Amino acid sequence: MFAARTPLSTRLWVAGVWLFVAFFVVNLFGLIGSVLTSSFATRWLGTWLPAGFTTKWYFAAWDEFQLGDVLWVTFQVVGSVVALSGLVGVPAAYALARREFPAKKAVMLLLLLPLLVPPVTYGIPLATVLYKSGLGGSLAGVILANLVPTVPFVVLVMIPFIEQIDPRIEAAARVFGASTPKVFVYVLVPILLPGVLAALLLVLVRTIAMFELTFLVAGPGSQTLVVALYYAVFAAGVRAVQSIDAMAVIYMITTLVWLIIALRFVNPTQIVARAKRSNT
């Protein structure tokens, strides 16, 4: 840490660490790269690079996997989840940030649980309930299932954001004659907007990539892109690998586009579930 005169052993150690990081990153890009390359390949057997390049697999995949419909379903699911978790989560976050009430700790725990318990564990009982109530396999069911982790996520991301805003600003607005709707429109919304956008972008990215919940709840007409991709890979023996890879690339682009947009507003660390940093 104190530069220049570091001993050899430390230098070797540092080199080793960076070597590993490079190894990881190189392999990661290799992994992604091979999917990308394969999707453009005419034939690729036993050689470093494909024999030739073509874009035909994208069109083939579009038809074969009905990607148009799948993308539309994905869009509906993700859009609804983002909108609903925003509508439900942001006001709740405001209430939790600004009010101390008797059951507050219980509510916070209730909201923390879906983020700590992995989706498969609560997904199975959730799927059971949804199927029993007739929502299983439907678009509504998929949307409801995906709300379980996203609503708490929005709340937990927004609370510290709102807590940072001085409550006296709202008090000042009232003193100067603003009614509650006016306080909301002129004071709260403009200040909250960046945080809300950031939170919703994160929800969007996470929902596109959310596999387990949708997998357990979706039917043939309500699969999101990632689930459709899973089934395609699963039944890979029947189809040409390149078209599956083309579909995978389409999925990648969908996620990455939103990831890049999200990263303009948000630190990469926040995409990870909010770390339990409280000192308990």
Partner 1 sequence: MTVAPTKFETLRLEGVSRDFGTFNALKNLDLTIRRGEFVALLGPSGCGKTTALNCIAGLLDVTGGRIMLDDARIDTLRPEERGFGMVFQNYALFPHMNVRRNVGFGLKMRGVPKPEIDRRVDEVLATVRLTSQADKLPGQLSGGQQQRVAIARAIVIAPPLVLMDEPLSNLDAKLRLEMRGEIRRIHQSLGSTTIYVTHDQEEALSLADRIVVIREGVIRQVGTPAELFGAPAHLDVADFMGFRNRVPGRVIGRDGDFVTLDVGDGARLVGKPRDGVDDGAAAIAMARPDDLVPIDAATGIPAEIETIEYRGREYHGLARTAAGLEVFFSSPTALARGAKIRLGADPDRVLVYPEEPR
Partner 2 sequence: MSAAPSARRTEGPTLTQKLRARGLDGVTLLVLPCVVVAVALFVYPFLYGLWLSFHPKAGGDALTNYERFFSDPFLSKTIWTTLRLALPVTLLNLLIAVPIAFRVRLMKHQRLLTTILVLPITLGTVLIAEGMLFYFGPQGWFTRSLMWLGVLSHPLHIVHGYWGVFLSLVIAIFPFTFLLTLSYVTGIDPSLEQAAATLGASPAARFREVYLPLLLPGLAITFCLSFVQAFSVLPSAVLVGDPANTTRVISIAAYQAAFEEYDYSLASAIAMIMGAVQLVVVVVILGGRTLLYRGPVAAAKG
Site for partner 1 in 2-21 (CB under 8 A): 2-5
CA distance 139 to 129: 15
**Under rule CB under 8 A, residue 237 binds partner 2:** no
Cβ distance to partner 1 smaller for residue 1 or 238: 1
Which of 8, 49 has the CB closer to partner 1?
A: 8
**Could you tell which of partner 1, partner 2, none binds residue 176, using a CB distance below 5 to 8 A set by kind?**
none
DSSP annotation string for 226-244: HHHHHHHHHTTTTS-HHHH
- Spatial separation of the C-alpha atoms in residues 251 and 199, rounded to whole Å: 22
> Is residue 209 close enough to count as binding partner 2 by CB under 8 A?
yes
Residue 6 vs 180, nearer CB to partner 1: 6
Q: Which partner, partner 1, partner 2, none, binds residue 4 by CB below 5 to 8 Å per kind?
A: partner 1
**In the complex, what is the shortest distance from the CB of residue 236 to partner 2, in angstroms, rounded to a whole number?**
8
Contact with partner 2 (CB under 8 A): which of 62, 75, 184, 230?
230
Residues in CB range of 105: below 8 A, 6 or more apart: none
From residue 165 to residue 184, what is the string marking binding to partner 1 with x (rule CB under 8 A)?
--------------------
Taking CB under 8 A as the rule, does residue 145 contact partner 2?
yes
Cα gap 99→159, rounded to integer Å: 11
Nearest residue (CB) to partner 2, 111 versus 199: 111
Q: Minimum distance from CB of 59 to partner 2 (Å)?
A: 20
Q: Alpha carbon of 228 to those of 203, 231, 232, 233: distances in Å?
A: 20, 5, 6, 9
45 lies in the site for partner 2, by CB under 8 A: yes
Question: Binding to partner 2 by residue 111, rule CB under 8 A?
Answer: yes
Q: Does 252 bind partner 2 (CB under 8 A)?
A: yes
DSSP H stretches of helix in the chain: 8-39, 56-64, 67-98, 104-116, 119-132, 139-164, 167-175, 180-182, 189-209, 212-217, 225-234, 241-265
Beta bridge partners of 218: 137
| Distance (Å, whole) CA 78 – CA 272 | 18
